[in-house]
């Protein structure tokens, strides 16, 4: 059994490990996305008067539509590290930034977070869309249920007196022993955080399937709606809600919450989407993010995700999975830990390759010299 699990751990690690190493490195960068984005694009993200209350968003909408000659289709409100408004206008693929203190136009970007959106795309999709999401999601599942389980089984010492050695790096060790200890010791200590990051990461690759499993495990009375399939009741002779009407609806819902995004319906049958945050600042703990999907013609609610009253399965994935995956669950402590955690897959992959290469060279050397190897011992 041990030999079989060793081979499974080895070959899954060598193949999926390359993807996991890349995901880990890009994930480490993205842990500090808010701060890095502001540092890279201060002229877009920093308000001219950070202490001033933001102007009414309707002024920003008016300025954007007058300047670019099209209807506003999306609004991103000043939250977290973003101090300005961001809007998208029909006919333009760019993100337009408006000073929150004055409502004046300050610039545009091809991507909302600039290069950090590229980092996120690399992390989740390897820049190849759904195929990349399938690869990263599968790799995350292999890490959670194959590499970590077999790794812990192989790590567990056969004799109790060996346990202390498995929990620390041996001092004054040779390169070979040091490499072995790095793989074993850090693999053990990072096993639980890696499992949490892997499970929550798989959710982004297989969101609908993961939610269905969580709903069944938590005995949900009805399945969670797949929001991409929600539709408005099409009315040929009725005009859809304007962005101003949508803002009025947004103001009436979830008092006490901070507005996060407003996205108008992209076609004649889609829904209008509103999202909120419990706080405009980066905070530890679960992220309570209400999401409302409205009929674009009547303004009636098609689906309302309330983070406080939703079924436990939906609360688990939507309130907890994002802060767990990006290390925000415990504030700065877990963010720093998760930055280090992102380096672990690359370290485990490299040390695993070194161990494999060392054993392969030894086996080939023994074959050439005619020495037989039985059960890992030279005969």
Write out pLDDT tens, residues 107-130.
999 999 999 999 999 999 999 999
Q: What is the average pLDDT across 238-249?
A: 96
Q: What is the pLDDT of residues 282-305, one digit of tens each?
A: 888 999 999 999 999 999 999 999
Q: What is the DSSP letter of 48?
A: S
Q: What is the DSSP letter of 130?
A: H
Contact of 344 with 327, CB cutoff 8 Å? no
pLDDT band at 79 (very low <50, low <70, confident <90, very high): very high
> 300-317: b or e for each residue (b if 16 or more CB lie within 10 Å)?
eebeebebeebbebbbbb
Determine the pLDDT at residue 369.
Answer: 67
Determine the pLDDT at residue 161.
Answer: 78
Cα first-last separation, the chain: 22
Locus of tokens 């300005």: 84
Could you state, in order of their start, the residue ranges of all structural domains in the chain? 1-41+114-224+323-379, 225-310
Q: What is the pLDDT of residues 318-349, one digit of tens each?
A: 999 999 999 999 999 999 999 999 999 999 99
In this structure, what are the phi and psi dihedrals at residue 251, rounded to the nearest 5 degrees? Answer: -65, -30
Residue 362 pLDDT > 90: no
DSSP H helices, the chain, are 2-31, 33-40, 42-45, 57-68, 115-125, 129-142, 148-155, 163-166, 175-189, 191-205, 207-217, 243-252, 312-315, 321-325, 332-369
Determine the pLDDT at residue 235.
Answer: 84
Q: What is the SS3 assignment for 329?
A: coil
Determine the pLDDT at residue 165.
Answer: 84
Determine the pLDDT at residue 375.
Answer: 46
CA distance 357 to 154: 19
Determine the pLDDT at residue 118.
Answer: 97
Contact of 148 with 136, CB cutoff 8 Å? no
CA distance 35 to 52: 21
Contact of 21 with 349, CB cutoff 8 Å? yes
pLDDT band at 379 (very low <50, low <70, confident <90, very high): very low
Q: What is the average pLDDT across 258-284?
A: 94
* CA torsion through residues 126, 132, 135, 141, sign: positive
Determine the pLDDT at residue 378.
Answer: 40
Q: What is the pLDDT of residues 39-56, one digit of tens each?
A: 999 999 999 999 999 999
Q: Of all residues in the chain, what percent carry a pLDDT higher than 70?
A: 96
CA distance 283 to 127: 30
Determine the pLDDT at residue 80.
Answer: 87
pLDDT band at 376 (very low <50, low <70, confident <90, very high): very low
CA distance 75 to 242: 13
Burial of 339: CB neighbours in 10 Å, binned 0-12, 13-18, 19+: middle
Contact of 352 with 14, CB cutoff 8 Å? yes
């Amino acid at each position: 059994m041990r030999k079989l699990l060793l081979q499974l751990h080895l070959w899954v690690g060598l193949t999926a490990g390359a993807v996991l190493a890349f995901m880990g490195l890009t994930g480490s960068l993205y842990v500090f996305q808010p701060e890095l984005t502001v540092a890279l694009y201060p002229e877009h993200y920093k308000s001219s008067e950070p202490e001033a209350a933001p102007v009414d968003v309707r002024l920003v909408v008016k300025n954007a539509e007058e300047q670019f000659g099209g209807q506003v289709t999306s609004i991103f409100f000043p939250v977290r590290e973003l101090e300005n408004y961001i809007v998208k206008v029909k006919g333009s693929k760019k993100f337009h930034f408006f000073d929150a203190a004055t409502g004046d136009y300050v610039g545009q970007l091809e991507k909302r977070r600039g290069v950090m959106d590229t980092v996120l795309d690399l992390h989740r999709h390897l820049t190849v869309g759904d195929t990349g999401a399938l690869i990263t999601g599968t790799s995350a599942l292999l890490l959670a249920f194959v590499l970590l389980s077999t790794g812990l089984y192989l790590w567990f010492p056969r004799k109790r007196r060996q346990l202390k050695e498995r929990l620390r790096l041996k001092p004054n060790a040779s390169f070979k022993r040091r490499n072995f200890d790095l793989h074993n010791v850090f693999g053990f200590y990072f096993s639980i955080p890696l499992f949490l990051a892997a499970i929550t990461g798989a959710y982004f690759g297989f969101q609908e399937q993961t939610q269905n499993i969580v709903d069944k495990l938590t005995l949900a009375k009805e399945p969670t709606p797949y929001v991409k399939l929600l539709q408005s009741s099409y009315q040929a002779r009725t005009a859809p809600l304007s962005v101003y009407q949508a803002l009025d609806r947004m103001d009436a819902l979830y008092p006490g919450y901070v507005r996060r995004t407003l996205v108008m319906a992209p076609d004649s049958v889609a829904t209008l989407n509103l999202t909120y945050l419990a706080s405009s600042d980066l905070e530890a703990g679960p992220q309570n993010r209400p999401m409302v999907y409205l009929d674009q013609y009547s303004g009636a609610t098609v689906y309302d995700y309330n983070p406080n009253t939703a079924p436990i399965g939906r609360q688990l994935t939507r309130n907890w999975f994002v802060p767990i995956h990006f290390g925000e669950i415990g504030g700065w402590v877990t963010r720093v830990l998760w930055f280090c955690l992102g380096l672990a897959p690359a370290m485990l992959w490299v040390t695993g390759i070194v161990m494999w290469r060392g054993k392969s060279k030894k086996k080939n050397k023994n074959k050439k010299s005619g020495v037989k190897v039985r059960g890992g011992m030279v005969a």
